[in-house]
Protein backbone atom coordinates (compact mmCIF):
# COMPACT_ATOMS: atom_id res chain seq x y z
CA UNK A 1 0.00 0.00 0.00
CA UNK A 2 1.34 3.42 -0.81
CA UNK A 3 1.19 6.44 1.41
CA UNK A 4 3.23 9.49 2.39
CA UNK A 5 6.01 7.34 3.83
CA UNK A 6 5.90 4.67 1.08
CA UNK A 7 5.96 5.88 -2.52
CA UNK A 8 3.84 4.06 -5.08
CA UNK A 9 5.88 1.64 -7.18
CA UNK A 10 4.91 1.38 -10.83
CA UNK A 11 6.34 -1.28 -13.12
CA UNK A 12 7.71 -3.33 -10.22
CA UNK A 13 9.11 -6.73 -11.20
CA UNK A 14 7.17 -9.60 -9.64
CA UNK A 15 9.00 -12.74 -8.56
CA UNK A 16 7.69 -16.18 -9.54
CA UNK A 17 6.81 -16.71 -5.88
CA UNK A 18 4.64 -13.60 -5.81
CA UNK A 19 2.94 -14.53 -9.09
CA UNK A 20 2.32 -18.09 -7.87
CA UNK A 21 0.83 -16.78 -4.60
CA UNK A 22 -2.32 -15.89 -6.54
CA UNK A 23 -2.95 -19.63 -6.97
CA UNK A 24 -3.74 -19.72 -3.25
CA UNK A 25 -6.37 -16.97 -3.28
CA UNK A 26 -9.77 -18.14 -2.09
CA UNK A 27 -13.07 -16.27 -2.42
CA UNK A 28 -14.84 -15.06 0.71
CA UNK A 29 -18.11 -16.43 -0.63
CA UNK A 30 -17.97 -20.24 -0.78
CA UNK A 31 -20.39 -20.22 -3.71
CA UNK A 32 -17.85 -18.42 -5.94
CA UNK A 33 -15.63 -20.66 -8.06
CA UNK A 34 -12.06 -20.56 -6.68
CA UNK A 35 -10.48 -20.83 -10.15
CA UNK A 36 -12.53 -17.93 -11.50
CA UNK A 37 -11.70 -15.90 -8.39
CA UNK A 38 -7.94 -16.49 -8.75
CA UNK A 39 -8.03 -15.58 -12.46
CA UNK A 40 -9.99 -12.39 -11.79
CA UNK A 41 -7.69 -11.25 -8.98
CA UNK A 42 -4.59 -11.99 -11.07
CA UNK A 43 -6.05 -10.04 -14.01
CA UNK A 44 -6.87 -7.10 -11.76
CA UNK A 45 -3.46 -6.99 -10.08
CA UNK A 46 -0.90 -8.00 -12.69
CA UNK A 47 0.74 -6.52 -15.74
CA UNK A 48 0.21 -8.59 -18.88
CA UNK A 49 3.68 -10.19 -18.73
CA UNK A 50 3.13 -11.27 -15.11
CA UNK A 51 -0.37 -12.49 -15.96
CA UNK A 52 1.09 -14.63 -18.72
CA UNK A 53 3.47 -16.26 -16.22
CA UNK A 54 0.57 -16.76 -13.82
CA UNK A 55 -1.49 -18.49 -16.51
CA UNK A 56 1.40 -20.89 -17.12
CA UNK A 57 1.51 -21.76 -13.41
CA UNK A 58 -2.30 -21.94 -13.30
CA UNK A 59 -2.52 -24.42 -16.18
CA UNK A 60 0.42 -26.48 -14.85
CA UNK A 61 -1.46 -26.78 -11.54
CA UNK A 62 -4.42 -28.32 -13.38
CA UNK A 63 -6.74 -25.38 -12.75
CA UNK A 64 -9.73 -24.52 -14.96
CA UNK A 65 -9.25 -21.60 -17.37
CA UNK A 66 -12.93 -21.88 -18.30
CA UNK A 67 -14.34 -21.66 -14.77
CA UNK A 68 -17.39 -19.43 -14.63
CA UNK A 69 -18.30 -16.65 -12.26
CA UNK A 70 -21.62 -15.95 -10.59
CA UNK A 71 -23.17 -14.69 -13.80
CA UNK A 72 -22.12 -17.76 -15.78
CA UNK A 73 -19.34 -16.06 -17.73
CA UNK A 74 -15.72 -17.12 -18.08
CA UNK A 75 -12.90 -14.74 -17.23
CA UNK A 76 -12.21 -14.43 -20.97
CA UNK A 77 -15.76 -13.22 -21.55
CA UNK A 78 -15.55 -10.76 -18.70
CA UNK A 79 -12.27 -9.14 -19.68
CA UNK A 80 -13.07 -9.16 -23.40
CA UNK A 81 -15.45 -6.27 -22.66
CA UNK A 82 -12.60 -4.12 -21.34
CA UNK A 83 -10.88 -1.82 -23.81
CA UNK A 84 -7.37 -2.34 -22.47
CA UNK A 85 -7.51 -6.09 -21.98
CA UNK A 86 -6.55 -7.28 -25.46
CA UNK A 87 -3.17 -8.61 -24.29
CA UNK A 88 -4.80 -10.45 -21.37
CA UNK A 89 -7.50 -11.96 -23.60
CA UNK A 90 -4.85 -13.12 -26.08
CA UNK A 91 -2.85 -14.75 -23.28
CA UNK A 92 -5.97 -16.63 -22.14
CA UNK A 93 -6.91 -17.70 -25.67
CA UNK A 94 -3.36 -18.92 -26.36
CA UNK A 95 -3.57 -21.03 -23.19
CA UNK A 96 -6.87 -22.59 -24.32
CA UNK A 97 -9.50 -20.43 -22.64
CA UNK A 98 -12.90 -20.38 -24.30
CA UNK A 99 -16.10 -18.42 -24.10
CA UNK A 100 -19.26 -20.25 -23.02
CA UNK A 101 -21.63 -21.49 -25.70
CA UNK A 102 -24.22 -19.01 -24.41
CA UNK A 103 -21.84 -16.16 -25.24
CA UNK A 104 -21.29 -17.45 -28.75
CA UNK A 105 -17.73 -18.71 -29.10
Q: What is the mean pLDDT of the chain?
A: 87
Q: How confident is the model at residue 1 (pLDDT cuts 50, 70, 90)?
A: very low
**Do 19 and 54 meet the contact criterion of CB atoms below 8 Å apart?**
yes
pLDDT at residue number 31: 82
Task: Give pTM, 2 decimals.
Answer: 0.82
Burial class (CB in 10 A: 0-12, 13-18, 19+), 42: buried
Residues 6+ positions from 57 with CB-CB distance below 8 Å: 16, 19, 20, 23
Q: What local confidence, expressed as pLDDT, does residue 23 receive?
A: 94
Contact assessment for residue 16 and residue 52, using Cβ atoms and an 8 Å cutoff: no
- Spatial distance between the Cα atoms of 22 and 2, rounded to a whole number of angstroms: 20
Amino acid sequence: MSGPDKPKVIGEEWSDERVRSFLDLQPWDASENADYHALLKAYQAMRAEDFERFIGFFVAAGRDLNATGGEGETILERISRHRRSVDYATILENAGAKKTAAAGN
